[in-house]
């Protein structure tokens, strides 16, 4: 497994994770985070708008998702296009080498109400990205929105399973299985 080489944005997130764990979210400043990462406060604000944002990777996930949905085969159903996007996450944000970092980040967010709020808003933004990308493929608006909601639910299920230390499956595989399960469940609603 290749060693993960963090860039400035990841270094800031790692530093923030350490500091939030050591002294708590409230007692950590942006300057503390930048200093721990060996960077400056202005570098921090080039990457993130505020302290809450440091664990939410500067919007790159939305572009990745939209690009992958656009690049799915023309014959793909809406949920197959979503599966294509979740597969792309399994090679980038949720690549095997990032698993320990992501699981740690997840635990810190779960423990902090402000970070949970930011994560909830980010989730809505990701659903919007999926909906818009599906609409651009010609999917009817409401169908696009429903597929995006189901995709987000499958994403959440796969993410929880992937972060479980007892699992070593690829995120893409977990996401594909969760999507099938979610789709099957719609027929019992």
Q: Where does this chain bind a second copy (CB under 8 A)?
A: 77-79, 113, 116-118, 120-121, 123-124, 140, 142-143, 145-147, 149-150, 152-153, 157, 181-183, 185-186, 188-189
Q: Say what the alpha-carbon torsion angle 109, 112, 117, 123 is, to the nearest 10 degrees.
A: 10
Cβ neighbours for 151, distance < 8 A, ≥ 6 positions apart: 79, 82, 85, 86, 127, 130, 179
User: CA 140 to CA 131: how far, in whole Å?
Assistant: 10
Query: Please, what sign has the CA dihedral across residues 88, 93, 98, 100?
Result: negative
Q: How far is it, in rounded angstroms, from Cα 44 to Cα 61?
A: 19
What gap in Å lies between CA 135 and CA 81, rounded to an integer? 12
Residues 6 or more apart in contact with residue 131 via CB below 8 angstroms: 141, 144, 145, 147, 148
Q: Any idea which residue has 């996450």 for tokens?
A: 89
């Amino acid at each position: 497994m290749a060693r993960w080489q963090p860039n400035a944005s990841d270094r800031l997130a790692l530093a923030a994770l350490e500091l939030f764990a050591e002294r708590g979210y409230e007692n950590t400043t942006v300057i503390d985070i930048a200093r721990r990462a060996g960077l400056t406060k202005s570098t921090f604000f080039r990457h993130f708008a505020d302290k809450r944002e440091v664990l939410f990777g500067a919007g790159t996930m939305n572009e990745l998702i939209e690009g992958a949905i656009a690049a799915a085969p023309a014959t793909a159903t809406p949920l197959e296009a979503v599966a294509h996007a979740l597969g792309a996450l399994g090679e980038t944000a949720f690549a095997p080498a990032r698993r320990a970092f992501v699981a740690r980040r997840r635990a810190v967010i779960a423990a902090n109400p402000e970070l949970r709020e930011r994560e909830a808003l980010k989730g809505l933004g990701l659903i919007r990205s999926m909906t818009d990308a599906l609409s651009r493929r010609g999917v009817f608006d409401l169908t696009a929105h429903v597929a995006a909601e189901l995709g987000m639910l499958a994403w959440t299920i796969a993410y929880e399973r992937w972060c479980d230390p007892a699992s070593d499956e690829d995120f893409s595989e977990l996401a594909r299985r969760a999507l099938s399960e979610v789709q099957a469940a719609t027929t019992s609603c």
